[in-house]
Amino acid sequence: MASLLQQLVKQGHEMLVFTLEKHPQLEPAADPASKPIRFVTLDSSFLAVYPTKRLAMPTLTNMNLICNTIRLEGPDVLHCTLDCISAFFILAAKFYHVPVVGSVHTDVQELLAELNVAPIAGSLITFKEGVESRLLDSCATTSPSFKSKLAGRGVVCDHIIKTGVTVGQFRPGVSNAEVRNRLTFGNPEGLLVVYVGRFGPEKRLDKLVQMCGSVDGVYLALIGDGAMGPALSERHGCWSNSGKRRTKGGVYCRIGFLGHEDLAPVYASADVHVSCSHFETLGNTVLEAHASGTAVVVPRAQGFIDTVNHEEDGFLFDGHRLAEGAAFLARLRDDRDLCASMGERGRQKVQMQSPEMVSKHVLEWYRRARASTKGQKITTSLATVAAEQLSSLVKVLMGVGICLLILLVVALWFAVEAVQVLGGSVVRYCHNARNVLGNSSFFNKVSNSYKALTNITVEREATR
Residue 266 lies in a domain: yes
**Helix (H) / strand (E) containing 237:** strand 237-238
Separation CA 385–CA 314 (nearest Å): 56
Structure confidence at residue 135 (pLDDT): 92
Determine what percent of the chain is predicted with pLDDT higher than 90: 51
Phi and psi, residue 222, nearest 5°: -105, 115
User: How many folded domains does the chain comprise?
Assistant: 2
Contact, 355 vs 363, CB < 8 A? no
In a domain, 29, yes or no: no
pLDDT in tens, 32-47: 556 788 999 999 988 7
Cβ proximity of 77 and 370 under 8 Å: yes
Strands of 191-198's sheet in order across: 237-238, 249-255, 218-225, 191-198, 272-274, 295-299, 314-317
**Phi, psi of 380, rounded to the nearest 5 degrees:** -120, -10
Which of 326, 353, 380 finishes a domain?
Answer: 353
Residue 404: inside a domain: yes
Q: Which of 199, 192, 197 is nearest to 178 (CA)?
A: 192
Together in a domain, 212 and 223: yes
Do 143 and 210 belong to one domain?
no
Q: Answer yes or no: is 462 within a domain.
A: no
Alpha-helical (H) ranges within 378-440 are 382-438
pLDDT for residue 460 = 45
Gap between the Cα atoms of 29 and 36, Å rounded: 9
pLDDT for position 398: 66
**Domain contains 3:** no
Residue 227 belongs to domain with CATH number: 3.40.50.2000
* Same domain (yes/no): 361, 242: no
**Neighbouring-strand partners of residue 39:** 17
What does DSSP assign to residue 16? Answer: E
List all residues 6 or more positions away from 366 whose beta carbon is below 8 Å from its beta carbon: 76, 77, 79, 99, 101
Interval 170-221: pLDDT, tens: 999 999 999 999 999 999 999 999 999 989 888 999 999 999 999 999 999 9
Whether residues 210 and 80 share a domain: the answer is no
Is 178 inside any structural domain?
yes
432-461: b (≥16 Cβ within 10 Å) or e:
eeeeeeeeeeeeeeeeeeeeeeeeeeeeee
> 52-69 pLDDT, tens per residue?
788 898 888 999 999 999
Same domain, 156 and 262: no
Is the backbone of residue 311 left (phi > 0), alpha (psi -120 to 50) or beta?
Answer: left
* Same domain assignment for residues 127 and 234: no
346 in the same domain as 278 = yes
pLDDT in tens, 254-283: 888 888 899 999 999 999 999 999 888 888
**How confident is the model at residue 437, as a pLDDT?**
47
Q: How big is the CA angle at 331 (ends 329 and 333), to the nearest 5 degrees? A: 70
**What gap in Å lies between CA 447 and CA 453, rounded to an integer?**
10
User: Does residue 211 sit in the same domain as residue 312?
Assistant: yes
Structural domain range at position 378: 42-163+356-417
C-alpha 58/C-alpha 43 separation (Å) is: 9
Residue 457 lies in a domain: no
Instruction: Kindly tell me if the per-residue pLDDT of 241 is higher than 70.
Output: no
Sequence-distant (≥ 6) Cβ neighbours of residue 99 within 8 angstroms: 76, 77, 78, 93, 137, 366, 369, 370, 372, 373
Cα 146 to Cα 134: distance, rounded to the nearest angstrom: 18
Is 50 exceeded by the pLDDT of residue 243? no
pLDDT of 270 reads 96
pLDDT at 239 exceeding the cut of 80: no
Question: How many whole angstroms separate alpha carbon 346 and alpha carbon 344?
Answer: 5
Q: How far apart are CA 371 and CA 375, in angstroms?
A: 6
Interatomic CA distance for residues 34 and 413, integer angstroms: 44
| Whether residue 189 is found in the same domain as residue 141 | no
Check whether residue 326 and residue 233 sit in a common domain.
Answer: yes
The answer to whether 97 touches 384, Cβ cutoff 8 Å, is: no
Give the orientation angle of helix 205-213 with respect to helix 322-334, to 10 degrees: 50
Distance, in Å, from the CA atom of 287 to the CA atom of 293, rounded to the nearest integer, reads 10
My answer on whether 209 and 288 are in the same domain is yes
**Cβ distance 399 to 135 under 8 Å?**
yes
Which CATH number belongs to the domain containing residue 375 in this structure? Answer: 3.40.50
- Whether residue 390 sits in one domain with residue 376: yes
Q: Are 213 and 249 in contact (CB under 8 A)?
A: yes
pLDDT at 378 (0 to 100): 33
Nearest CA among 347, 328, 330, 342 for reference residue 287 = 347
Strands 100-104 and 218-225: unpaired
Is position 264 within any domain? Answer: yes
Does 165 have pLDDT greater than 60?
yes
More confident residue, 188 or 416: 188
Q: Which residues contact 102 (CB under 8 A, 6 or more apart)?
A: 79, 80, 81, 82, 86, 90, 132, 133, 136, 138, 139, 140
Please enumerate in sequence order all residues whose Cβ is within 8 A of that of 225, keeping only pairs 6 or more positions apart, or say none: 52, 198, 199, 255, 256, 257
Q: What is the DSSP string of 60-123?
A: HHHHHHHHHHHHHH--S-EEEESSTTHHHHHHHHHHTT--EEEEE---HHHHHHHTT--HHHHH
